Amino acid sequence: MVAFWQKWVDMAWQMTQLLLLALVAVAWGAQPRTPQARTDLLNVCMDAKHHKTKPGPEDKLHDQCSPWKKNACCSVNTSQEAHKDISYLYRFNWDHCGKMEPACKRHFIQDTCLYECSPNLGPWIQEVNQSWRKERVLNVPLCKEDCQIWWEDCRTSYTCKTNWHKGWNWTAGYNQCPVRAACHRFDFYFPTPAALCNEIWSHSYKVSNYGRGSGRCIQMWFDPAQGNPNEEVARFYAETTNSGAMPQGIGPLLLNLTQILQGWFLG
């Protein structure tokens, strides 16, 4: 009888271990996955409306796009258009609720330069099914200072929407506020820096807890004389992505389950 009972306990324990393995598989499968098949996460350009196929030198990049001149995904013409109001790039009107403050507009120009020119966004590139692009970026970890200053410089400008990717009235050939969308200060629609940076472009950015110079967040602003700090950041996240590490929190959870079940069966 004792031998039978011991055999049953051993069998139950083996089944429990198989269950734990199944839980690992389910948890792993439930983690967000990049839908694209990219393996080239470093020094790449996304497949979008105005991007070059491959990054390379562009010695004459214009003004705020010039930090990327040694290695860029944008052309000189794209960099020039990025500085214009209602440019041919996207026909986007920054002044849809009256004149945007110049200090605020500088951040949107820099944001456009980062999006169009940076070859260091590979770890966050995702496939999309959109008429004007096949890839986008999602949850790029923007350095907290860059987000904070962006919000501070824009809080007294005016807008009528929180998500600028969609919902506009384009009948005039450029974006206008939709009917019944009231113009308010930025800090009405974006009460915090995170609200601005995370929501304005459909979560293209996700504000990081890390600061500039940490090697863990993308800088929208940087001094090219000191090199491009985003190269190191892209390498870090590319290595993390390719490491196949167990999702955060799963290890401790399984350890606790194992200890509990050991107490049940062997205690």
Kindly provide the residue ranges of all beta strands, DSSP E only, lying in the chain, ordered along the sequence. Answer: 125-130, 133-137, 140-142, 158-159, 184-185, 205-207
Question: Does pLDDT of 116 surpass 60?
Answer: yes
Identify whether the C-beta of residue 54 lies closer than 8 Å to the C-beta of residue 106.
Answer: no
Closest CA to 251 of 243, 259, 262: 259
Bridging pattern class, strands 205-207 and 158-159? unpaired
- CA 112, CA 60: separation in Å to the nearest integer? 17
At 6 the pLDDT is 54
Q: Could you tell me the CA-to-CA distances from 187 to 124, 173, 193 in Å, in that order?
A: 28, 28, 9
Q: pLDDT tens digits for 188-211?
A: 999 999 999 999 999 999 999 999
At 88 the pLDDT is 87
Domain ranges of the chain: 39-242
Higher pLDDT among residues 132 and 128, named by residue: 128
The H or E element containing residue 3 is helix 2-30
- CA 189, CA 142: separation in Å to the nearest integer? 20
Burial zone of 102 (CB within 10 Å; 0-12 exposed, 13-18 middle, 19+ buried): exposed
The H or E element containing residue 228 is none
Higher pLDDT among residues 254 and 141, named by residue: 141
At 14 the pLDDT is 56
Q: pLDDT band for 7, please (50, 70, 90 cuts).
A: low
Q: pLDDT band for 135, please (50, 70, 90 cuts).
A: very high
Question: Three-class SS of residue 166?
Answer: coil
At 241 the pLDDT is 75
At 40 the pLDDT is 83
Q: pLDDT tens digits for 158-176?
A: 999 999 999 999 999 999 9
Q: pLDDT tens digits for 39-65?
A: 689 999 999 889 999 999 999 999 999
Q: Is the four-CA dihedral 166, 89, 125, 141 of positive or negative sign?
A: negative
Q: pLDDT tens digits for 9-36?
A: 455 545 555 454 444 444 444 444 444 4
pTM for the model stands at 0.77
Half-sphere exposure of 185 (CA within 13 A, CB side): 10
Q: pLDDT tens digits for 209-263?
A: 999 999 999 999 999 999 999 999 999 999 987 765 444 334 444 444 444 444 4
Tokens of 130: 């959109």
Q: pLDDT band for 131, please (50, 70, 90 cuts).
A: confident
Backbone angles phi, psi at 140, to 5 degrees: -60, 125
